[in-house]
Amino acid sequence: MSAAQPSAPPTVVVTTAGSAPTAGTVQHLRGLGYRVVATDIDPSAPGLYLADRAYLVPPGGSEAFVPEIRGICLKEDAVAVVPLVDEELAPVAALADDGIAVLLPRPEFVAVCLDKFALMRRLAAAGLPVPRTALAAQWSGDPRPPLVVKPRTGRGSRGVTLSASAEELNRLLATGAGAGDRLVVQERIPGPEYTVSVVVWRDGEVQAVVPKEVILKQGVTRFAVTRRHERIAEVCRAVQRELRADGPFNVQLALDDRGEPRIFEINPRFSSTAPLTAAAGVDEIGGLLRQAVAGGPRLTDDWRAGVVMVRRTADEFLEESRFAEYGLDPAAGIPGAGPALGAGRR
- Any domain includes 333: no
* 181 & 160 share domain: yes
* 277 & 233 share domain: yes
- What pLDDT is attached to residue 102? 98
- Any domain includes 330: no
**Beta-carbon count within 10 A of 329 CB:** 11
- Any domain includes 160: yes
Nearest to 268 by CA among 133, 183, 155: 155
- Any domain includes 111: no
Nearest to 272 by CA among 316, 329, 231, 214: 214
Domain count of the fold of the chain: 3
* 143 & 200 share domain: no
- Any domain includes 93: yes
pLDDT 10s per residue in the chain (346 long)?
455 556 789 999 999 999 888 999 999 999 999 999 999 999 889 999 999 999 999 999 899 999 999 999 999 999 999 999 999 999 999 999 999 999 999 999 999 999 999 999 999 999 999 999 988 877 766 566 788 888 888 765 566 777 656 677 777 666 655 455 788 889 999 999 999 999 999 999 999 999 999 999 987 899 999 999 999 999 999 999 999 999 999 999 999 999 999 999 999 999 999 999 999 999 999 999 999 999 999 999 999 999 999 998 888 888 887 777 666 544 544 444 444 554 444 3
What is d(CA 341, CA 52) in angstroms, rounded to the nearest whole number? 11
* 298 & 212 share domain: yes
- Any domain includes 293: yes
* 77 & 171 share domain: no
* 183 & 203 share domain: no
- Any domain includes 265: yes
- Domain interval for residue 296: 190-310
* 305 & 197 share domain: yes
- What pLDDT is attached to residue 338? 42
> Half-sphere exposure of 274 toward its Cβ, with a 13 Å CA cutoff?
28
Last residue in a domain, options 172, 187, 202: 187
Which domain CATH number covers 73? 3.40.50.20
β-pair type (308-310, 220-226)? antiparallel
* 137 & 204 share domain: no
* 205 & 178 share domain: no
| Percentage helix, strand, coil for the chain under 3-state DSSP, each rounded to 5 | 30, 25, 45
* 268 & 291 share domain: yes
Which domain CATH number covers 163? 3.30.1490.20
Q: Which pTM value belongs to this model? A: 0.89
* 166 & 205 share domain: no
In DSSP terms, 38 is beta-bridged to 14, 54
Q: Where are the beta strands (DSSP E) in 171-219?
A: 183-187, 193-200, 206-218
Burial class (CB in 10 A: 0-12, 13-18, 19+), 34: buried
